C-alpha cells in the first residue's frame, strides 16, 4: 500500500496504524521518513515483506525548504538554535553552490539519525550530549532544482526539489548548502514526492484509509509484483511451477538475468524471485503456498 505519511508521526507509528486498519499479521515499510517529513511511504504486508528490502535501494525524490541564516542541533526545525548569521549571498552564488552539490558527494551522517554505532543508534548518543566519530557516506544527487527562493526579509529560504540515491540525508544536504553559502541553514519542511516508480499522487492518507470500509481498504492494496517492476518475468506451468516452489532449479530458453519475477500459470500467481544463468532458473526468494493463497484471495 502506498501511504502518504502525515506530519508528526514516525514511519513505524504510521505503519502500525495501517497494519491495524488492515488486520494484517505481518507488515514492514521500505524506508524511514522522519516525523518532520511527509509523503510517499510504501507499506508491505504479508508476502510483500519478503521483497521490501529490494525497494530500499530505489532512488528517492523530495521537495524541501531550507531556512537560511539559522543552524540547529538537529539540522531541522525540531532542534535547538545553535547560531544565527546574516544572509548575504546573491542569486548567482545560490546557483553556483547548488551546481556544486550535483552528482556524487560525500555526506557525514547527522548525529540525530537512526544509523548505528557499536549497536546503538546515533540519536541515542546525541540525546545524551555525546558526539561519536562517523564515516562519510557516498551518495549521488541526480537532480537538484531550485523551485523558489527568498534571500531578503526575516525568514530567507530556498525551496528545492532533490532526486537522490538511497541513503541520502536531506537534512545534511540542506545544512551543507547553507554552510557553502556562508550563512548556515536548517530544514523546515520535507516531503517525499516519489520513491522508485511510486509517486505521491498514488498514495492514500491514514485519514482516508480509516474512512473506508474493510473491503475498500483491501482494494487499495497493490499486488506484490508492484515491488518488482524491473525484474524479467518468467512464467512456469504445472510441474515446473511446483518444483520451482520447492527450491529446485529449472532449465529453459531464458536469457541471463540478475533478477526475475517468477509466476505460475494456473492460476496466475507470483511464486517468488530468481536469477537466470546459462539457461538455468535459480530460486532467490520463494513464497509459501499459504502466502500465494492469501495473495489470490486478496485479488479475488
Rounded-to-integer distance, Cα 164 and Cα 149, Å: 21
Distance of CA 45 to the CA centre of its chain: 16
Rounded-to-integer distance, Cα 196 and Cα 57, Å: 9
DSSP element (H, E) containing 197 = none
Close Cβ partners of 154 (under 8 Å, ≥ 6 residues apart): none
Q: At what angle do helices 91-100 and 170-180 cross, to 10 degrees?
A: 130
Q: Are strands 37-45 and 185-195 parallel, antiparallel or unpaired?
A: parallel
Q: Which residues pair with 139 in a beta bridge?
A: 105
Is residue 215 within 8 A of residue 99, CB to CB? The reply is no
What are the C-alpha distances in Å from 43 to residues 7, 174, 198, 225? 17, 27, 12, 14
Out of 4, 13, 34, 99, pick the active-site residue: 34
Would residue 4 show up in a list of annotated catalytic residues for this protein? Answer: no
Residues marked active site are found at 34
Amino acid at each position: 500500500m502506498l501511504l502518504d505519511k502525515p506530519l508528526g508521526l514516525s514511519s513505524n507509528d504510521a505503519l502500525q496504524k495501517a497494519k491495524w486498519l488492515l488486520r494484517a499479521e505481518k507488515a514492514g515499510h521500505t524506508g524511514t521518513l522522519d516525523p518532520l517529513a511527509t509523503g510517499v511511504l510504501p507499506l508491505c504486508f504479508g508476502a510483500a515483506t519478503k521483497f521490501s528490502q529490494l525497494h530500499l535501494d530505489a532512488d528517492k525524490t523530495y521537495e524541501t525548504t531550507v531556512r537560511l541564516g539559522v543552524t540547529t542541533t538537529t539540522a531541522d526545525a525540531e532542534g535547538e538554535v545553535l547560531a544565527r548569521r546574516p544572509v548575504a549571498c546573491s542569486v548567482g552564488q545560490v546557483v553556483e553552490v547548488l551546481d556544486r552539490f550535483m552528482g556524487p558527494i560525500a555526506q557525514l551522517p547527522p548525529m540525530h539519525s537512526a544509523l548505528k554505532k557499536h549497536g546503538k543508534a546515533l540519536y541515542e548518543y546525541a540525546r545524551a550530549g555525546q558526539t561519536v566519530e562517523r564515516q562519510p557516506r557516498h551518495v549521488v544527487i541526480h537532480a537538484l532544482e531550485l523551485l523558489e527562493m527568498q534571500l531578503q526579509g526575516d525568514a530567507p529560504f530556498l525551496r528545492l526539489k532533490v532526486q537522490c540515491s538511497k541513503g541520502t540525508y536531506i537534512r545534511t544536504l540542506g545544512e551543507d548548502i547553507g554552510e557553502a553559502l556562508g550563512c548556515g541553514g536548517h530544514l523546515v519542511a520535507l516531503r517525499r514526492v516519489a520513491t522508485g516508480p511510486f509517486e505521491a499522487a498514488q498514495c492514500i492518507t491514514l485519514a482516508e484509509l480509516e474512512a473506508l470500509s474493510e473491503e475498500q481498504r483491501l482494494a487499495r492494496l497493490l499486488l506484490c509484483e508492484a515491488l518488482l517492476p524491473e525484474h524479467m518475468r518468467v512464467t512456469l506451468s504445472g510441474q515446473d511451477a511446483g518444483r520451482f516452489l520447492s527450491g529446485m532449479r529449472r532449465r529453459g530458453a531464458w536469457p541471463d538475468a540478475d533478477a526475475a519475477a517468477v509466476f505460475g500459470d494456473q492460476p496466475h500467481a507470483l511464486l517468488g524471485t530468481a536469477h537466470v544463468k546459462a539457461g538455468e532458473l535459480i530460486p532467490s526468494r520463494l513464497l509459501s503456498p499459504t502466502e500465494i493463497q492469501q495473495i489470490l484471495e486478496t485479488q479475488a
